[in-house]
Every structure is written in C-alpha cells, then in structure tokens.
Amino acid sequence: MSRIAYVNGRYIRHADAGVSIDDRAFLFADGIYEVIEIFDGKLIDEAGHLARLERSARELRLTLPLAQGVLKLVLRELAARNRVTDGHVYLQVTRGAARRDHFFPKPGTPATFVAFAHRSDRAAAEAKARAGIKVISLPDIRWKRPDIKTTSLLPNVLAKQQAREAGAYEAWLVDADGYVTEGASSNAWIVDGQGALVTHPADSAILSGITRARLFQIAAAQGLALVERPFTLEEAFSAGEAFISGATTLVMPVVAIDGRTIGSGAPGPVSLGLRAAFHDYAPASG
Ligand code: PDD
C-alpha cells in the first residue's frame, strides 16, 4: 500500500508529493505546523492543536487556506487512507510560493497546505517509557518566540542530534539565567521533594504544549500539586522524578540528565501514573 499525502487540495502518493522550490517554508522556514496523535484511529486533543494552529497563524500574519471543518475531514481521510490506527498526523501551512524576497508575497498568494500521516509502534513506545530516557542540557539559543509553532527548527534539530550523539534522546534547553525552558521537541517537567510537579510557565519562552495542558487536568484529578515556575538544572539533578511531554512522546520518564541519575534511576510512579492515565482524559475524536 503506498502512503498518501495531501498537498494543496489533492490526495497524492507520498513519493510523488511536492511543493515549489519557491515555497516560503523552503526558502525562509516561513511556515507553521502541528503534530496530532492518532490513537485507536482517533485524533487526540484535536481541538487544542487546531486552536494553537490558528494562534500560530495569527502571530505570523498567515491566513489558513482551509476552513477548520475541511481541515478536520482531511486529517481523518489521511488517517483512513494510510490505515494509521496508532501514529501521528502532521500538517503544515506556509506563506506560499513566490519569487524569493524577504517581503511578504503579494496579497492573494495562496498559502501552501501539506499534511501526511505516520504510523508509530505502540509497544516500542511503551518499552521506551518503562526504560526511561536520557537527556542532556544545552544552551537555549532559539529566537525569542518559541511559543509560536513554526517550522524554523534549526536550533532544535541541532540540539536533538547532539543529544543522540551523546547517547540521549532529548536535549533540555537552558536559558541565560540558568533555567530549563523546555526540551528541543517536548516540554520539561520535574517532581520536587514534596511530590509537586514543576514545569516552566507557558510564556513566550516555551511552546505551550497541548499534552502539557492536558497533564494539568490529570494532575488535578490525581491530587498532585502543580507549580508553574522555572527550575534550574541543579534542581532537576536532585528531583525525585523528571519527564518530558509532547504529542509524539506523551509522558516519557527521564532517568538521567547530563549523565547524572535522576531519582532511583528508573521511571518513577508519578511519571508512569500520568502516562497511564493520559488517554483516559485526552479527548479522542474520530
Ligand atoms: N513537538 N516544545 C517543543 C519545542 C515541541 O516541539 C513540542 C512538540 C512540545 C510539546 O507540544 P505538544 O504537547 O503540543 O505536542 C513542546 C512536536 C511533537 C514535534 O515537533 O514533533
């Protein structure tokens, strides 16, 4: 079965799908994106992801080329055509194709819309969560608006690769004041000595994760205290537990940071409890 992508109004074989070399995202990373989990054939927390897409579009003065109703149909059609029951759907909107010029293209230039679906291996993800992941820390060298979900991810890509080369899965980014902002592709959390969850406030320094927001609700339901405040690496080293959150990783326990063991060195009960509860709380739409 060949994979099917959606490009500017057409379903097309993934291998044949493409956009112009004049596309603004290719030339300037002038685009936004979302990644939504597909679990049991349903889209998880779709409303939150689409609301964030609209916000990203507003912040970059981009006009979304599809009405939300049509967009939702496309995402479902992609999941169905690619027979993805467990995986993700990726969607990207760019400022369209126009002769290279930093100024915005002339009004009326159509935005580019691309979407595709990926399968993921649920058993492999669960095994990874049982083992826990390693993290390294790196300076947060991103621009000052990482709250916008843009395709401009070069610092994130470099950080992830450096993590991989150090035997880790994620990089925690540290700001000029020594605080952990977030991961290169996830939000960062610790569990403090009192058992409270701590994560950076959703200000302009981090992406306001949809998974993160859902975990606020689950934490409350589980009677866990939660504090939104910046934390340092030193605090993280001595935390009882640490984990990352995101649509591709859900809750993924962190067992080492910069080679230092976190807590017992194994995934902790708070992280695993949040992970186990996630799909009981996150709305699934089919
Ligand atoms: N990344 N912070 C960053 C920098 C991210 O790239 C992501 C997600 C998150 C978590 O957001 P959410 O919970 O809404 O997925 C936080 C996606 C999955 C990606 O780029 O693949």
Give the pLDDT confidence score for residue 1 in this predicted structure. 73
User: Which pLDDT tens digits describe the chain residue by residue (286 residues)?
Assistant: 789 999 999 999 999 999 999 999 999 999 999 999 999 999 999 999 999 999 999 999 999 999 999 999 999 999 999 999 999 999 999 999 999 999 999 999 999 999 999 999 999 999 999 999 999 999 999 999 999 999 999 999 999 999 999 999 999 999 999 999 999 999 999 999 999 999 999 999 999 999 999 999 999 999 999 999 999 999 999 999 999 999 999 999 999 999 999 999 999 999 999 999 999 999 999 8
The letter for the amino acid at 48 is: G
Question: Which pair of structure tokens corresponds to residue 67?
Answer: 């009405």
> Which residue's CA is minimally distant from atom 5 of ligand 1?
185
CA pair distance 168, 234, nearest whole angstrom: 19
pTM: 0.98
Let me know if 44 is exposed, middle or buried by CB neighbors in 10 A (0-12, 13-18, 19+): buried
Cα(104) to ligand 1 centroid in Å equals 27
Cα(107) to ligand 1 centroid in Å equals 31
What structural domains and CATH numbers belong to the chain? 4-120 (3.30.470.10), 125-285 (3.20.10.10)
Question: Which pair of structure tokens corresponds to residue 197?
Answer: 């969850």
The atom number, within ligand 1, closest to the CA of 248 reads 18
> Which residue's CA is minimally distant from atom 1 of ligand 1?
185
CA pair distance 145, 244, nearest whole angstrom: 20
Residue that the structure tokens 């390693």 belong to: 134
The atom number, within ligand 1, closest to the CA of 211 reads 13
Cβ contact 122:150 at 8 Å: no
Q: Which of 98, 111, 181, 109 is nearest to 151 (CA)?
A: 111
72 is catalytic: no
The dihedral sign for the CA sequence 208, 126, 173, 228: positive
DSSP letter for each residue of 275-286: HHHHHHHS-EE-
Q: Which of 117, 16, 22, 76 is nearest to 285 (CA)?
A: 76
User: CB 143: neighbour CB atoms within 10 A?
Assistant: 9
CA pair distance 246, 209, nearest whole angstrom: 7
Which residues lie closer than 8 Å to 108 by C-beta, 6 or more apart? none
Cα(108) to ligand 1 centroid in Å equals 31
246 lines ligand 1 (CB under 6 A): yes
Which residues lie closer than 8 Å to 164 by C-beta, 6 or more apart? none
CA pair distance 222, 46, nearest whole angstrom: 23
Cα distances (angstroms) measured from residue 91 to each of 6, 35, 36, 114:
9, 7, 9, 6
The atom number, within ligand 1, closest to the CA of 48 reads 14
